[in-house]
Structure 1
């Protein structure tokens, strides 16, 4: 079987769990040299064991521009130019509009919006011409859902960035596209609940919210990332793959 990312260098931000980890594992299987980033070194170490050979973990915070400089310089020193950049690092903070705090707003904005913007900007000198960049949005970016106002706004911003970035990077043939998932079976449910039982209940509730009556597996989303990362999607520029179990359409 032909490996779609053979000899490519791929960087996955937020690659130590969930969609990021599933994507990193799939990319490694497809022949890429994979670099993952994240803030938790223990999670990164565990992820590298799962990904296997040809993988590298670099700790760092996408909201910290000095960290981004260090991450990309390390990739350059060890592996050379980057062919695929998956911007996946994000936080999921929910609260009613009336109760939302400035601290919560800043956390979402710093990681989801600012982090996405500068993860791409800082990567530019280290990207090969013809590289593929994939930004991770969310189905709620174009759907009104209670308690999601700030989170949804950051993900709508991500969708907008892909269009603008693509227009600016045409001369380098760098494609910027968006992957827009619905609810996915990841550890994120544990971050918005207090117990494992509550996390499972939240996951079930999200699944019932979809016409498909389930949440996606992280691997299903990773397969879409592979399409956007590879030459299979060479004619996609500033586009979007919606993989949401029918939420937006039905």
Structure 2
């Protein structure tokens, strides 16, 4: 399979690359904002168009990227809230909308949300809203995608590798290694299900 992995240089993205590299049949295209085989800015439609012009037809698209705003609700502004909307939500939606047209028949799209969609945390209102919206998008899009194209969402809990940075935001939450979360991306890309949220670690 020819697979585009957006966010390939991040903690989760590196784990997904390592998992998929185990299968010599896969050809991986590593994409990042500044690093990788190719670069893309998911907030810029022209940049996404340019990415797919370079990749040509592919069998799978995986996104392991997206920024959200963390901060107390009492101080949040619409501008703050727009961070997650424009980056993690619309960025991944844009990737799916554009990507459906360069996927081969039976191809797949895998997006990323997170546990906060189901288990809110303090200062995480933007993240909860964005992750929940991604789940709705995937559920509905699966009903309309043609040519046997599938779409799924991977929703991991906090990654063990990120505990030092994010642990204080997730009191009492268990973490999972990125390598375990990566299995869900393989399941999505190589499996048969569509419109699913693959929850990892909760």
**If the length of structure 1 is used for normalisation, what is the TM-score?**
0.75
**Offset at 1:104?**
2.5
Tell me which residue corresponds to 1:239.
196
**Offset at 1:59?**
1.2
Match of residue 200, structure 1, among 149, 154, 164? 164
Distance of 1:102 and 1:136 partners within structure 2 = 23
The residue matched to 1:179 in structure 2 has which SS? strand
Q: Is the 8 A contact 2:69 2:127 kept in 1?
A: yes
- Residue by residue, what CA displacement relative to the aligned partner does 1:166-213 show, whole Å, maximum 9, x if unpaired? 1111x3111111111110134xx5xxxxxxxxx72743763x522xxx
Tell me which residue corresponds to 2:88.
112
- Residue by residue, what CA displacement relative to the aligned partner does 1:89-148 show, whole Å, maximum 9, x if unpaired? 211431000112333322211111111111011112210110121111111112332211
Distance of 1:221 and 1:104 partners within structure 2 = 29
The residue matched to 1:180 in structure 2 has which SS? strand
For the pair 1:84 / 2:54, whether they are aligned, the reply is no
The residue matched to 1:122 in structure 2 has which SS? helix
Distance of 1:36 and 1:203 partners within structure 2 = 28
For the pair 1:153 / 2:129, whether they are aligned, the reply is yes
Unmatched 5+ stretches in structure 2? none
Distance of aligned partners of 1:93 and 1:205 in 2 relative to their CA distance in 1, 3 Å threshold:
closer
Q: Is the 8 A contact 1:18 1:185 kept in 2?
A: no
Tell me which residue corresponds to 2:39.
59
What is the Cα-based RMSD across aligned positions, in Å? 1.8
1:20-31 aligned within 5 A: 20-31=13-24
Distance of 2:198 and 2:64 partners within structure 1 = 15
Q: Which has the larger radius of gyration?
A: 1
Structure 1 runs of 4+ aligned residues shifted over 6 Å read: none
The residue matched to 2:4 in structure 1 has which SS? strand
Tell me which residue corresponds to 1:95.
71
The residue matched to 2:160 in structure 1 has which SS? coil
The residue matched to 1:172 in structure 2 has which SS? coil
Match of residue 181, structure 1, among 143, 146, 156? 156
Tell me which residue corresponds to 2:52.
72
Q: Is the 8 A contact 1:62 1:89 kept in 2?
A: no
The residue matched to 2:38 in structure 1 has which SS? strand
> Per residue, is there more helix in 1 or in 2?
1
Distance of aligned partners of 1:202 and 1:115 in 2 relative to their CA distance in 1, 3 Å threshold:
closer
How many residues in Structure 1 have an aligned counterpart in Structure 2? 201
- Residue by residue, what CA displacement relative to the aligned partner does 1:17-39 show, whole Å, maximum 9, x if unpaired? 11112102221222211112222
Distance of 2:168 and 2:80 partners within structure 1 = 25
